Amino acid sequence: MDTKMQLNEALKQAMKAGDELRKRTLRMALAAIKQAEVDRQVTLDDAGILAVLQKEIKIRKEALEEAQKAGRSDLSADAQAEIAVLSAFLPKGLSVDELRGLALQVIVEVGASGPADMGKVMKAMMSKVAGRAPGDQVSAVVRELLQS
Q: What is the CATH number of domain 3-87?
A: 1.10.1510.10
Give the pLDDT of residue 83. Answer: 93
Give the pLDDT of residue 1. Answer: 62
pTM greater than 0.95: no
Angstrom distance (rounded) from CA 146 to CA 148: 6
pLDDT at 13 over 90: yes
pLDDT in tens, 94-110: 888 888 888 889 888 88
**SS3 assignment for 81-107:** HHHHHHHCCCCCCCCHHHHHHHHHHHH
- Spell out the CATH class of 96-147: mainly alpha
pLDDT in tens, 40-59: 999 988 888 888 998 999 99
* Residues in Cβ contact with 118 at an 8 Å cutoff, skipping those fewer than 6 apart: 112, 142, 143, 146
Residues of the chain with CATH 1.10.1510.10: 3-87
pLDDT at 6 over 70: yes
Angstrom distance (rounded) from CA 18 to CA 39: 32
Angstrom distance (rounded) from CA 115 to CA 147: 6
